Every structure is written in structure tokens, then in C-alpha cells.
Amino acid sequence: MINNLKNKFQKITPILNRIGQNKYLQSIMGAMMGILGPIILGSFAVLGSVYATKYHLTSLVWVCTVLSTVTIDGIALYLSFLIAKYLVSFYLKDDDGTYAGIISLMGFLILTPLGKIKTKEGLLSAIPTTWLSSQGVFSAIIIGLIIGRTYIYMKQHGWTIKMPEGVPPMVSQSFANLIPALVIGIFAALTSLLFKLTSWGSFHQMIYSIIQTPLRNIGGSLWAMILVTLLMQLLWFFGIHGTNVINPLVIPIWMALDLENLKSFQAGDAVPNIIGYTFFQIVTWGGTALGLVLLMLFIAKSKRYKELGKIAIIPSLFGITEPIIFGTPLVLNFNFAVPFITNNTIAIIISYLLTKFNIVARCVGIQAVFGLPLGFHAAVGGHMSIIILQLFIQLILSPLLWYPWFKHADRLAYQEEQTNK
């Protein structure tokens, strides 16, 4: 049975690898990782704004509001630029995608409906932040991919103005991208006009209504996170990088939920979502492998596992678990298959229920920074109960979940060592 299962996964491995290496998914993943800096800065600005308001620090409130507005409230702008840029760099080796990113950003703004603000000089046009933040995330993804792919097609088919030799490269590149900018800009303007005539009123509203909201409802459920986590760990078990394969599909949904939480937290309202990327990162920190390392360090009888525990303990305290994953190994090791595949899911279910019944606070949406030590990593959740939850999962629940499987593997390793003496 085990061999049959291994053979089946070996057959689908090329398909899964192709999914993980898909240029469109990699572009989305790269862009999502690229905006972590602004998200983290904006998140801490929101946190600072809340406490500055509480203590009436007016100047600090102003600074924090500016920071959060140009980061969190403008996240879709960054995405529209980065997705097109990454996509072009995958297809055109002599183009880093910067011009495509600028054209994509232009297209996004053309498709964004303008608002009006009243001033002493009269009514002035303004860009509302409504579609520039979490509500515009999926619009930015679609626009970035479409414009990026269109730009690639135009460049590959020579839709450019070639300047004579001797013209400075900067001038030559500007003219080379003139036709794509004009064509895409005019098309975006016509598209914006057509959507203005519909009941949606804008491209962004259509995407939010028929794509983002349903995906948020499905992807923001406990069952969706359970399915994603099980599939991710199952892929890891068979030696496939489950994170790279699955994350591009779910991170846009989970990050959008985090941004909703952050905006509610900033406004002083109740945080609406339990599920989010922050929740997932905090609960599944280090893949609950620290519990296995602690068992190796303190109860192992075999020299093999004792030594591995000593090597892996320091990295594991910072969420770095490669030494234990590949040193045990956990990949294709059926002695540890059940806990390796299911521990994260069990931790998620318990954490969700504790949060649902208000025993643990909901994460406010601040993105966790990889490499922070145990406990400190969970501090971005915004409440002491979330830190305690992570400590409970890693120091109590995780060792208990690994214990019966580790005892069996340790006994076999110890017997083998005694036999070979």
C-alpha cells in the first residue's frame, strides 16, 4: 500500500512541480512577498496610531496616519506594479519589467473611479483609497497579469519604436515602450468607460463582487484552511515544496482578510476575521517541529536523536526547521508521517476554537516577521493571549502530538545502535 501511494505521488509530482513553477503564480507570489515591507511598516504605524490616539499624542497620530495611508491603504498600487514587473522578467530576458510595471500602475489608476473633495477653490478630483487597499487586491492581481502579458506580447512581436544607433539608451528605451503605453492606456480608458455604464460602475467593483467576496468567504473558512494545510504538509512529506505550490493560491485571500482586520482595528471596531495569513503563520510557526526537537533533546535514548536535538534546538527556537526536517528525516519517513502531515491542522483547529469562543484574541492583521524567536514572533498578533497560544502550541501541544510516534522511532534507533555495537 505504501509503495502504491509513493508511486501515485511520483506520477503527479511533475504536475505539482509545474504548478509551483508556473510563471503567473510565481509572479503573484513574488509580488506578495515584495509588499511585505510596506505591509509591516504600515501595520506598526496602525498600531502606533491606535496607542497614540489613546494617549492624545496628536503629532504621532498624524505621522502614523500618513504612514498607514501610503502603505496599507495603497497596497493594491504596489501589487499592480510588481506583478507586471515580475511576469515580464520571466519572459523577456533583456527586460527587467520596470516599464511594464509603470504601465500596469497607470492602467490600474485609469480603471479606478475618481472622487471629489470640496475645497475653498471648489471641487477637486481625488483618488479614494477604497480600491487602493484590501478591496482592490484582486483587481491589482488581474490587471498586473493582463497588462504584463500584453506588454510581453507587444515586445515579442516588435510593437516598438526603434531609435537610430547612437541615441542614449535611456531615450531609446522610453521610445521602445511608447506604443505599449499608448495602446494599453487607451484600452484601459475605454474599459473604464464601459464599466461606468454598467450597474457595477467600475472594473474594481465587478471583481470585488463576483471574485474577491466569494473567494474571501470560501478561503476565509476553517475548512478551507484545514484543506490547504493538509495538502501543503502532504506535499512536503513526499518531498515537494508544499509552501511554494499552495501559497500563491491562498496568500492573496488571507492577506486581504488581514488587511480588513487591520483597518477595523485602526478604526476601533471589532476585528472581523479569525482566519488570515497572520493567524496561519503564528499557529503553524515552525511547522510544530519544535516539539519533536524538545523530545529528542530531553527524552531520546538513541545517540542519533540526542545529537540531532542538540543541533536543531537553536534554529528551531527561531522557526528554522530545515535541520530537523532533513536530519530526521521527516520527508518520506512513514514512522513520522501522521504527525508531520496532521499536527499543523490539529493546532489550527484548536486555535480556531479558542479564538471563536473568545478565549484567545483575534489577530489584528500585522504580518509576522520570519526569524523572530518563539513568543516574539506571535507578538504581532496584538494581544498577550496570542503569545500564550503560540507558547502552548509549541511547548505543550506539539511534544504531546509527536510523543507516541517519536517513542517508537527512538526505540527502533536505540535497538539498532545496540545491535551495531
Cell 511534544 sits at which residue? 399
pLDDT digits (tens, 9 = 90+) for 242-261: 777 788 778 888 988 998 89
For residue 381, the Cα-to-chain-centroid distance in whole angstroms is 16
Phi-psi domain of 164 (left: phi exceeds 0; alpha: psi -120 through 50; beta: other): beta
* 337, containing H or E segment: helix 337-356
The CA distance from 103 to 81, in Å, is: 8
pLDDT digits (tens, 9 = 90+) for 355-404: 999 999 999 888 877 778 888 888 888 889 999 999 999 999 999 999 99
- Confidence bin at 166 (pLDDT 50/70/90): low
Contact between residue 86 and residue 26 where contact means Cβ atoms under 8 Å apart: yes
Contact between residue 134 and residue 256 where contact means Cβ atoms under 8 Å apart: yes
Tell me what percent of the chain is helix, strand and coil, each rounded to the nearest 5. Answer: 75, 0, 25
Tell me the CB-side half-sphere exposure of residue 98, using CA atoms within 13 A: 6
Residues 6 or more apart whose CB falls under 8 angstroms from that of 322 comprise 315
Helix axes 337-356, 222-237, angle to 10 degrees: 160
Burial class from Cβ neighbours inside 10 Å (0-12, 13-18, 19+) for residue 22 reads middle
Residues 6 or more apart whose CB falls under 8 angstroms from that of 258 comprise 273, 276, 277, 278, 363, 365, 366, 367
**Rounded (5°) CA angle 259-268-31:** 10
Q: 3-state DSSP call for residue 115?
A: strand
Strand pairing partners for 116?
A: 125
Peptide bond into 329 cis (omega under 30): yes
* pLDDT on residue 4: 64
C-alpha cell at 213: 467576496
The CA distance from 142 to 147, in Å, is: 8
State percent of the chain over pLDDT 90. Answer: 44
Residues 6 or more apart whose CB falls under 8 angstroms from that of 370 comprise 319
DSSP string, 359-376: SSPPP--PPPPTTPPTTT
pLDDT digits (tens, 9 = 90+) for 117-150: 777 777 777 888 889 988 899 999 999 999 999 9
C-alpha cell at 348: 489550527
pLDDT digits (tens, 9 = 90+) for 2-43: 556 556 656 666 666 676 678 898 898 889 888 888 888 888
Q: What is the CA radius of gyration of the chain?
A: 25
Strands 122-126 and 115-119: antiparallel
- The candidate with the shortest Cα–Cα distance to 385, out of 351, 348, 344, 347, is 351
* pLDDT on residue 161: 74
Give me the helices (H) in 55-162, please. 58-71, 75-91, 98-110, 137-156
- The candidate with the shortest Cα–Cα distance to 24, out of 189, 146, 166, is 146
Residues 6 or more apart whose CB falls under 8 angstroms from that of 181 comprise 99, 102, 103, 106
pLDDT digits (tens, 9 = 90+) for 269-311: 899 999 999 999 999 988 889 999 999 999 999 999 999 999 9
Q: 3-state DSSP call for residue 187?
A: helix
Higher pLDDT, 131 or 169: 131
* pLDDT on residue 164: 65
The CA distance from 112 to 199, in Å, is: 15
Contact between residue 82 and residue 31 where contact means Cβ atoms under 8 Å apart: yes
Q: 3-state DSSP call for residue 125?
A: strand
Tell me the CB-side half-sphere exposure of residue 229, using CA atoms within 13 A: 28
* pLDDT on residue 333: 86
